[in-house]
Amino acid sequence: MEKIWNWNRKVNLDNFAMFEKVSQFESAGVSAQLKSDIIKHLQSLENEFQRYFPDLAERDETFPRNPFSAMVDVSTVPEDIQDELLDLRNDSACRKIYMEKSLTQFWCSMLSSFPKVSTSALRLLVTFASTYRCELVFSTLVHIKSKARNKLAMENDMRLAISKTLPRISRLASELKQQKSH
């Protein structure tokens, strides 16, 4: 959202550097109509982000990234998790775990001790990851299901293509028995 606001501000100042193709032709001058179209498009992007992530503006995004930061204002988080967040911030063992693990690993490890805060943080963090995974699956589907392969049952192919688990082909092959000849 901040990038969109910044781009909008720059376009209003006739600065099109962030749009590579437009800035190539800037010497000829950008028409008022093109400038208006860019501003309309940026506004539609902003509206789409607000529609897609309606509660993003209402949340304090700082606490999921670093619950131990002095910048986190406890009064900005929902009331039902404020006490839990304060307990978490003052737990030195949790601070040590935060320093050692990735952000998602940290919040997953806090689920049993601080369920409300962890669930709230993970809900914000997982939104973007799940969107990425969804796009990845659709791209994989388009790649696998081509005109030449449109009659295939793709469930197993898709499972193999999007799984992070590597197949152990040698182990699978060693468990199979050879077919006897007649």
Give residue 91's pLDDT.
93
Tokens representing 38? 């860019």
Number of DSSP helices (H) and strands (E) in the chain, helices first: 10, 0
DSSP line for 79-113: HHHHHHHHHHHT-HHHHHHHHHS-HHHHHHHTTTT
Q: Examine the domain organization and report whether 118 and 77 are in the same domain.
A: yes
Residues making up the chain, counted from first to last: 182
Q: Under a CB-based contact definition with an 8 Å cutoff, are residues 118 and 111 in contact? A: yes
Q: Examine the domain organization and report whether 46 and 75 are in the same domain.
A: no
Out of 126, 156, 174, a domain closes at: 126
Tokens representing 19? 């749009």
Reported as a single tens digit per residue, the pLDDT across 45-76 is 888 888 776 665 444 467 888 888 877 888 88
3-state secondary structure of 32: helix
What is the rounded radius of gyration, in angstroms, for the C-alpha atoms of the chain?
25
Give residue 48's pLDDT.
84
Torsion sign across C-alpha atoms 56, 59, 65, 71:
positive
Task: Report yes or no on 145 lying in a domain.
Answer: no
For tokens 């590597």, what's the residue? 166
Q: Examine the domain organization and report whether 107 and 78 are in the same domain.
A: yes
Whole domain around residue 9: which residue ranges? 2-52
Per-residue confidence of the chain (182 residues) as pLDDT tens digits? 788 888 899 888 888 778 877 766 655 667 788 888 888 999 998 888 887 766 654 444 678 888 888 778 888 888 888 899 999 999 999 999 999 998 889 999 999 999 999 998 888 777 665 567 777 777 877 777 776 666 667 777 777 777 777 778 888 788 877 777 76
> 10 Å Cβ neighbour count for 63?
24
Domain count, the chain: 2
Task: Report yes or no on 172 lying in a domain.
Answer: no
Separation of CA 98 from chain center:
20
